[in-house]
Structure formats: C-alpha cells, structure tokens
Amino acid sequence: MKDPTTMGEVFLADPPAGDRRDERDPGSERGAGRPKEAPRAWAFTGVAAALCGLFTVVVSGGLWDPDLDYSDPVAIAERLADAQGQLIAMHVATTVGMVLMVVFALGLARRVAAATPKGSLIGGVAASGLGLVAVASLLGSGLDTEFLFATEAIESDVPEVIAFYNHWIATIPWLWIGAGLAGVALAVAGRRHGAVPRWIGITGAVLGGLTLVAGISPLQYMAGFSGPVWLLVTAIGFAVGDRAFRKGTRTAGTGRADAAAGAAA
C-alpha cells in the first residue's frame, strides 16, 4: 500500500512560507527591496498656495498710499481705479491659492494621521486651521466681481461703498489665524508623538505661535505677515524633506518610539 503522503493530496498542501508570493501585488517580485515612497504632490501644492498668499499680501499692502487722503472716498475710488491691474492679479492669486490650500490641508491631515495615534485630533485641527484660511481667501475675493470694474465708473457708483471695498481687501485676505492654529498643531504632533521632523515642529511653534497670537489680537490682520511664511517653510519641508516618512521609516509606532527615546535621553 502506498503512503498517503505520496498521493495527489500532497499537491494541495500550502507551499512553504518562503516560497509564497503576494498574489495581491503581481509586481511584488520586481519591486522587492524598493519600498514605494509616500506621495508628496500635496506638499508642492502647499508651496504654491503659500506663494499665492504672499503675492496677495504684498499686492494688497502695495495699494496703501501714504499721501492719499483716506477721509475722501472719491480719492480712494480713483486710487483703486488706477490699480485695476493689481486688483485683477490679486484676485487670481487669492482664488488660486484658496483652491490649492484645500488640497494641501487634506494632504497634511493624511500625513499627520499616518504618524499619530488612531483617533488623534491633531491632523484634523491642522487641516481645519488651513480651511479657515481658505475661507478667508474666498471671502476676501468675494466682492471683486462687484467692485473690480465699478471703480472705472465712479460717477455712477457711490464712492463711499468703493471706499468700503478698499478696507475689505486690505483686511479679510490677511486673516491667516488658521495657519497659526495649524502650525501649533504640528508643533504638538512633533513634540508629543514625533510625527513630523523636529525642525518643522519648531517652525510651527515659533511662526505658527506668532501667527496665532497676532490673529487673536485686535490687530488680527498682522497674521498675514507671518502666516504665509510659515506655510511656505513648512510645505517646502514636507516636499523636499521628511525623508524618514516617505521611505516608510517614520510611522505611527516609530514616531512615538523616537519621541519616547528622545525624552528618555
């Protein structure tokens, strides 16, 4: 009688673990030893959003004329009429930056969530802060359609209303307090969980904290000076740095372990 192990049933047995291949990834054999890096296109959108924000703030600040009589609404309307090209460029930069900001905010939330404990609010807080900046940009450009070309017809429009529009575009697009909130959130993520590179956390604590304090103060438009700078530095950091995470060596577990090791040291 033949041994049952020599019968056909033996071919139904599972192959040794070392001989198995991942059936879910047909290219696993080709890609062995080369871990796929995490995407970073979202970070580059943050760089573009920051540049748009800086452009908006610079152009908006350039509309200020120290020799203009700001108690004269007609003079203000005439000044805006002369700067129509600048206003159009500022509108485009503000709206494009708003769209890019949303993409960066969601990418940042995903990046932080991947390196913080499950259920952590840090990524959501950071994304929400940037969402507030996007909303401020939307509102800041919201009256452009109504007044951008009305400045050419001062006689048929109420100069006082156009003067109000001047105050609007010089204030609302500068409300970057949400960027300060996002920066502080990244500082917490780096300090408590080692979820981001240390220098990004420090940048968030310094520039983000400064932006947050400026936004809370009555001079809240001052947040427009430091907010875009924080975003630019942070986005560049995630785009060209953050190698440990992109190569898969910084995860939720390793981030916390590194933070704990640093604290123990």
For residue 215, count other CB atoms closer than 10 A to its CB: 24
In Å, what is the CA distance from 19 to each residue of 14, 34, 168? 10, 19, 68
pTM of the model: 0.78
Number of domains in the chain: 1
* Mean pLDDT (the chain, rounded): 82
Neighbours of 24 (CB within 10 A): 6
Listed range (32-41, 124-133, 247-256) with the worst mean pLDDT = 247-256
3-state secondary structure of 142: coil
In a domain, 254, yes or no: no
Both tokens of 93, joined, read 């930069």
pLDDT of residue 162: 85
Burial of 132 (0-12, 13-18, 19+ CB in 10 A): buried
Task: Look up residue 79 and give its two tokens.
Answer: 């000044």
Distance CA 179, CA 129 (A): 6
d(CA 234, CA 212): 16
In a domain, 165, yes or no: yes
Using alpha carbons, select from 47, 14, 78, 5 the residue that is nearest to residue 230: 47
pLDDT at 257: 44
- Please indicate, yes or no, if residue 169 is contained in any of the structural domains: yes
The pLDDT-based confidence of 156 (bands split at 50, 70, 90) is low
Q: What is the pLDDT of residue 258?
A: 46
3 pLDDT band, cuts 50/70/90, is low
> Distance (Å, rounded) from C-alpha 12 to C-alpha 81?
83
Domain of 218? Answer: 39-61+68-243
Residue 243 pLDDT class (50, 70, 90 cuts): confident
Q: Which of 186, 189, 190, 177 is nearest to 129 (CA)?
A: 177
Angle subtended by helix axes 41-62 and 84-113, to nearest 10: 150
Q: Do residues 172 and 134 lie in contact, with contact meaning Cβ atoms separated by under 8 Å?
A: no
Evaluate whether residue 22 is within a structural domain: no
Q: Measured between alpha carbons, how far is 48 from 101 in angstroms, rounded to an integer? A: 9
**Does residue 152 belong to any structural domain of this protein?**
yes
Asked if the structure places residue 13 within a domain, the reply is no
Query: Is the pLDDT higher at 3 or at 62?
Result: 62
Question: Does the structure show a pLDDT above 60 at 214?
Answer: yes
* Ramachandran sector of residue 147 (left: φ over 0; alpha: ψ -120 to 50; beta: rest): alpha
For 127, half-sphere exposure in the C-beta direction (CA atoms, 13 angstrom radius) is 19
Q: Give pLDDT, residue 108.
A: 96
pLDDT tens per residue, range 97-126: 999 999 999 999 999 999 999 999 999 999
- Does the pLDDT value for residue 261 go beyond 70? no
Per-residue pLDDT averaged across 257-262, rounded? 44
C-alpha 204/C-alpha 207 separation (Å) is: 6
Asked if residue 7 belongs to a domain, the reply is no
The residue among 28 and 156 whose pLDDT is bigger is 156
The answer on pLDDT for 199 being more than 90 is: yes
